[in-house]
Structure 1
Amino acid sequence: MAVTVVVGNPKPASRTLTAATLLAAGLRPEAETRVIDLVSLGPKLLGWGDPEVAEAVRAVADSSLVVFASPTFKATYTGLLKLFLEQFDGGTGLAGVISVPLMLGAGPAHALAPDLLLKPVLVELGATAALPGLYLSDRTFETDGVIEGYTARWRPVVSALAAGAAR
């Protein structure tokens, strides 16, 4: 099972990246995780046909599980992530991909953002978004046990979905 993490934080090697890789490892501990830190693509995301962006899009579309992660900016996900998602065809670009929306923020005010703002875009692109989105405190996610609780609850569902897709 190919597992990919897509990080839409404009800061390289961010806490968002750390949280997303922990989440992916918890959901599919047996799989190696590929990381696409979108900040490394930068202005290449503004046009069409860049080979590096095309390879990242292919890698995501060919994955079985993708964690799409963003910090909360202005009550939603980042423009960097939006630019990347614009590279996929509507309805089919993420067909066959189990997606998990993940967002981090400073407080609970935007706790519904992953489900209300990011998940609908992933579904519009054809992703399977059967798991609830996850919102984490950007200051406590490494110690508060939320990722561990989420992955313990949803790991069997991801396994079942992946097994069903493999048939």
Structure 2
Amino acid sequence: MGIVSDDTSRGGVVALVGNPRPGSRTLVVAQRLAAGVAGLLNGAADPVTTLDLAEIAGQLLVQEGPDADRYRAVVASAAVAVIATPVYKASYTGLLKAFVDRYPAGALRGVLAVPVVVSASPAHSFVGEHLLRPLLVELGATVPVPSFAVVEGQLDDLQNRVDGWLEQNGEVLSRLALRADAVGVR
């Protein structure tokens, strides 16, 4: 799948997936939420850019990684970045960590980020708020809304979960994205 849209200048919505399995359920969750966010921001006129880190895993731990560098640029230019990970060992994946370690501190300044976690147990829903949010803030992203956490058993009702989250948080994201566009942040 890789990059669906390679246009880094438009500042649209990006879904970044840190699951080591290509085409994962985490990818489906991230795409669904990102599509909902894009619909709020621009009526879904622009496609969501999807980045599946499993497809470039071999480039994340080497110095020269042209696809990894391109992914970094796409995320850094996003208006909204939906950053998704499954929960492994009560944390985000090493794959996601290897990717974000390629950024210097503050590199995501101007990006609105939405942490997303997919877990087997509701007990691991804390990962989005207590581990992924601070990581994104360290990189300079603004994380103005609660993370989107879904348990594997809720995936059959995913669209209703996404719609509910957007109903509660979409207005904040929309206002901030419009404000960022108005002042030329990015």
TM-score, length-normalised on structure 2? 0.86
Residue aligning to 2:150: 136
Residue aligning to 1:87: 102
Per-residue CA deviation, residues 82-103 of structure 1 (Å, 9 max, x unaligned), is: 000101111x210100000000
- 1:47-86 correspondence runs (5 A): 47-86=62-101
- The whole-number CA distance in structure 1 between the counterparts of 2:30 and 2:169 is 15
Give yes or no for contact 1:70–1:103 (8 Å, CA) kept in 2.
Answer: yes
Shift of 1:139: 2.9
Shift of 1:157: 1.1
Name the structure with the higher helix share: 2
Shift of 1:146: 1.7
- The whole-number CA distance in structure 2 between the counterparts of 1:87 and 1:131 is 25
> Size of the alignment, in residue pairs?
166
Per-residue CA deviation, residues 54-87 of structure 1 (Å, 9 max, x unaligned), is: 1110000011000100000000110000000101
- The whole-number CA distance in structure 1 between the counterparts of 2:152 and 2:82 is 16
- The whole-number CA distance in structure 1 between the counterparts of 2:128 and 2:59 is 25
Structure 1 unmatched ranges of 5 or more = none
Report the AA paired with residue 18 of structure 1. Answer: V
Question: Which 10-residue stretch deviates more, 133-142 or 152-161?
Answer: 133-142
Give yes or no for contact 2:13–2:37 (8 Å, CA) kept in 1.
Answer: no
Report the AA paired with residue 106 of structure 1. Answer: A
Q: CA RMSD in A?
A: 1.2
Per-residue CA deviation, residues 108-154 of structure 1 (Å, 9 max, x unaligned), is: 11111100000000000000001111110123234152211001221
- The whole-number CA distance in structure 2 between the counterparts of 1:49 and 1:165 is 33
TM-score, length-normalised on structure 1? 0.95
Q: SS of 1:77's equivalent? A: coil
Residue aligning to 2:20: 10
Give yes or no for contact 1:141–1:147 (8 Å, CA) kept in 2.
Answer: no
- The whole-number CA distance in structure 2 between the counterparts of 1:120 and 1:18 is 24
Residue aligning to 2:139: 125
Q: Which stretches of structure 1, 4 residues or longer, exceed 4 Å deviation after superposition?
A: none
The counterpart of 2:129, out of the listed 109, 112, 115, is 115
Structure 2 unmatched ranges of 5 or more = 1-10
